[in-house]
Amino acid sequence: MIGLTGGIGSGKSTVARLLAERGALVIDADALAREVVEPGTSGLAAVRGRFGAGVVRADGSLDRAALGAIVFADPTARRDLEAITHPLIRDRTREIIAAAPPGTVVVHDIPLLVETGVAAHYHLVVTVDVGVEERIRRLVALRGLAEDDARARITHQVSDTERRAVADVVIDNNGAPDALVAQVEALWRRAVAFEDHLRRGEPVRRPERPVLVAVDPTWPDQARRLLGRLRYRLSPLLGEGLALHHIGSTAVPGLAARNVIDLQIGLSAPADADRAEVRDALGRLGFPRAEEARGNPAVTGGVWPERLHLSCDPERTVHLHLRPAGSPGWRWALLFRDWLRADPDARQEYAQLKRDLAAREATIAAYTRAKEPWSQAHASRVESWAATTSWRIPAE
């Protein structure tokens, strides 16, 4: 389930068409918005009931100009209109998705993805990005808009920066159409593999060797988007107080790391980890349970139980650790992260150790084991740092 967005003139419709040609089921949110108020629909009757006969033309169709004049001037009227149309559009969207055969990649073409705050509903959010002046040029030259009109419409929408903030994939359409096709091809390959793993409930197998990559400044943003999805799907099952954190090396700015986003879900009732609804929700979100059980040896030498879920997205390795909130392992993951964030010397020492071990160890398991003595050796230093700084469990 891909959410596709982009400002007017960015090439979003072109991307939707290219994806449809490759086999995606494209749901056009604007088209559905028109469909639910076509002549004879209950939607149009409700709109007429609220706004009067003046918004319906003699031929029985909606008078968009008349309705627009009312709702643009009056926020309450606009909310009333949305209260009528949004549920109808949502139900119709669900119907179309439910009728799609297994193996379908659904692309929801939704210009107002950011404005309606639905980014967390999708497995991937894609935005099509083009500089404003080029968009205006294309809208004028290719779609026949007046320049003032094109400019006004762009000003009226959210900015490209806001769209990029919610997007997992930014398609750069400043270049030639061929360059667009190449990016859509890459996206399609990713989507097909993602869907395949998702449907089979099997995480993508990753290479066994420990490979450190250059620091990616977008790791925290990627984590924030993933956590948003988890919160959206899990809150109804586990409550609003769900503790969700980005942990591990990618959560420490400036620290070289394996390209893995580690996320921690703290469970107030640990048995929730094995509830079928919770496992299924995580699986549908693209994080099925990993086969291997994991124990995280404690600083004190004990074993912390956790449940590990892994990612179906071939281009994003995620380790999702479900741990009892308040347990030593849960706390240590947060404390160790915050200490590394705060102490540049420790960070440097740890980075050097990781580089040495990544070069030496043949497998990730061996690499991970070999790292443990270092954190154990520093446990008392970390704890005294926690005491002197009055460290508390962070909200994020």
CB of 158 to ligand ADP, least distance (A): 14
Residue sitting closest to ligand ADP (CB): 13
CB of 318 to ligand ADP, least distance (A): 30
- Collapsed DSSP state (helix, strand, coil) of residue 5: strand
For ligand ADP, the closer of residues 49 and 177 by Cβ is 177
Q: Which of residues 163-182 bind ligand ADP (CB under 6 A)?
A: 173, 176-177, 180
Length of the chain: 396
Q: Which of residues 314-353 bind ligand ADP (CB under 6 A)?
A: none
x/- letters, 187..226, toward ligand ADP (CB under 6 A): ----------------------------------------
DSSP strand pairing (303-310 vs 124-129): unpaired
Phi and psi, residue 56, nearest 5° = -120, 135
- Collapsed DSSP state (helix, strand, coil) of residue 3: strand
Q: Distance between CA 226 and CA 246 in Å, rounded?
A: 9
Q: Which of 138, 229, 258, 378 binds ligand ADP (CB under 6 A)?
A: 138
Write the CA distances from 321 to 54, 261, 324, integer angstroms: 57, 11, 10
Residue 216 corresponds to which tokens in the numbers above?
């990616």
For ligand ADP, the closer of residues 184 and 351 by Cβ is 184
For ligand ADP, the closer of residues 143 and 189 by Cβ is 143
Distance from chain centroid for Cα 309: 17
x/- letters, 5..34, toward ligand ADP (CB under 6 A): -x-xxxxxxx--------------------
Q: Determine, following the binding rule CB under 6 A, whether residue 3 of this chain makes contact with ligand ADP.
A: no
Query: What letters, b where the CB count within 10 A reaches 16 and e where it falls short, cover 258-276?
Result: bbbbbbbbbbeebebbeee
Q: In which residue are the tokens 């003032």 written?
A: 148
CB of 129 to ligand ADP, least distance (A): 10
**Interface with ligand ADP (CB under 6 A):** 6, 8-14, 138, 142-143, 173, 176-177, 180
